[in-house]
Structure 1
Amino acid sequence: MKVIYHIDEMDRWPLVLGNVKNMTAYYHEQKESYTIEVLANSAAVNGYAAASPEHEDAMKALAGEGVVFTACSNALKGNAMTKDDIFDFITVVPAGVVELAARQAEGYAYIRP
C-alpha cells in the first residue's frame, strides 16, 4: 500500500499523526509492506519547526517506522522559514501540489484527515 497524507492546517497534526500511527500498526500486525508520506504545506509546515517541537517525538518514532515527512518549499518561504528552521529528518520538496499530483500519478492513495 502506498499512501500520502496531506496536511495544511496546524490543528490537524494530532489527527494526522494518530491516523498514521494506526495505519503503520495495522500493516505491522498484518505483516504487510507500506509506503507512507506525510506532506505538509500552507500553515502546517510550522508543525515541523524545530523551535516548537510539540509533535517531534511522534514524528521521529514514525520516521523510524519508515514514514517519510515532507514539507513544501513554497509554504516554508510563505511562513518565513528555511530548511534550517525545521527538523533535520524532514525532506523539502519544491512544490507541495506537484508532490501530491506526482504521488497520485504513482498510485498513492490520498488522505486528508
Structure 2
Amino acid sequence: MNRLKVLFHVNEPERWKIVLVNARNFINDVGQGRADVEIVANGAGVTAYAGDAAIIEEMKVLHSQGVVFAACRNALKMHALEESSLPGFVLAVSAGITEIAQKQSEGYSYIKP
C-alpha cells in the first residue's frame, strides 16, 4: 500500500469528538507511522484548542502517534485566542483554507466529518 496522506478539516467545535474518533480509527486501520495525518481547524473549530481538557488529552495521544494539528491564525484572531495559549503541539498556520489547498496539492485526501 502506498503511504496515505489525509487531511481532516474541522470548523465547528462540536465536530471535534467525531474528528478525533475518525483519526484514531484511521490510524488503527492503516497502522501507526504508515500515513501522514493532519487535522486543521479554522472558524470556530479553533476554540477547541483552548477548551475541553479531555479533548486536548485525546489530541496529545494522537499527536504522539504522528498526527499534526494546525490552527488558522485568522480564526484565532477572530476568536480572540493568542497563539501562545495553544497547546505546544499545535502549529499555527497563516490561513486554514490555504493550508487545506496546499495539502490537497501535495496529494492529501480531504475529509470533513
TM-score by length of 2: 0.93
Letter in 1 for 2:74: N
Q: Distance in 2 between matches of 1:32 and 1:55?
A: 22
Q: Distance in 1 between matches of 2:82 and 2:93?
A: 12
Q: Which string of whole-angstrom CA distances, capped at 9 and with x for unpartnered residues, describes residues 26-69 of structure 1? A: 111xx7710000000000101111x5423011000000000000
What fraction of aligned residue pairs are identical, expressed as a percent? 40
Letter in 2 for 1:8: N
Considering only aligned residues, what root-mean-square deviation do their CA atoms show, in Å? 1.3
SS at match of 1:54: helix
The runs of at least 4 consecutive aligned structure 1 residues that moved more than 4 Å come to none
Quick one: structure 1 residues 32 and 78, their matched pair in 2 at CA, closer, same or farther if it must change by over 3 Å?
closer
Quick one: structure 1 residues 54 and 32, their matched pair in 2 at CA, closer, same or farther if it must change by over 3 Å?
closer
Alignment length, in residue pairs? 110
Q: Distance in 2 between matches of 1:24 and 1:59?
A: 13
TM-score by length of 1: 0.93
Structure 1 gap ranges (5+): none
Letter in 2 for 1:66: G
SS at match of 2:34: coil
Tell me which residue corresponds to 2:38: 37
Letter in 2 for 1:63: H
Q: Distance in 1 between matches of 2:33 and 2:56?
A: 26
Q: Which string of whole-angstrom CA distances, capped at 9 and with x for unpartnered residues, describes residues 59-107 of structure 1? A: 0000000000000000000000111121111000000010000000111
Tell me which residue corresponds to 2:82: 82
